[in-house]
């Protein structure tokens, strides 16, 4: 993923498939609200990763899902205290469908949470992060 500055506090991420993710700071942090904040993108990544697993597993279990969404939230240190890493993240799944099997839904969420979702497992693992730079 390449992330390029677009002026102000806006940054454009371009994936390997050429698709764009626009991120920007909220107005009260010097941005123009042109996209989601990087923190929101992090939460959305965890939710989307889990959701893709869950929907895939439910489809394999022949569950008929008619509506599905996730609400994700996190608890961080108060504004002004730095750093502000997440102390906890909650991913809540809402599933609607025809005669859904509660055991199948619970197992799908569990498998995503404990086995398949790379984003969630990475957050749990607290990987080493290295930063470097090059002046051109």
User: pLDDT by residue (tens digit) across 59-81?
Assistant: 999 999 999 999 999 999 998 89
**What topology is assigned to 37-136 in CATH?**
GMP Synthetase; Chain A, domain 3 (3.30.300)
Percent of the chain with pLDDT over 90: 99
CA dihedral 26, 29, 30, 31 (to 10 degrees): -20
Contact predicate 95/105, CB 8 Å: yes
Predicted local confidence at residue 105, as pLDDT:
98
Q: Mean of the pLDDT values across residues 5-15?
A: 97
User: pLDDT by residue (tens digit) across 70-114?
Assistant: 999 999 999 889 999 999 999 999 999 999 999 999 999 999 999
């Amino acid at each position: 993923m390449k992330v390029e500055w677009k002026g102000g506090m806006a940054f454009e991420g371009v994936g390997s498939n050429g698709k764009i993710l626009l991120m920007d700071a909220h107005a009260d942090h010097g941005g123009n609200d042109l996209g989601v904040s990087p923190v929101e993108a992090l939460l959305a990544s965890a939710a989307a990763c889990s959701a893709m697993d869950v929907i895939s597993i439910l489809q394999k279990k022949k569950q008929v899902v008619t509506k599905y969404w996730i609400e994700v939230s996190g608890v961080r240190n108060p504004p002004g205290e730095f750093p502000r890493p997440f102390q906890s993240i909650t991913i809540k799944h809402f599933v609607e469908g025809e005669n859904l099997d509660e055991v199948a839904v619970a197992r799908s969420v569990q498998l995503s949470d404990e086995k398949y979702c790379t984003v969630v497992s990475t957050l749990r693992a607290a990987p080493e992060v290295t930063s470097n730079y090059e002046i051109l």
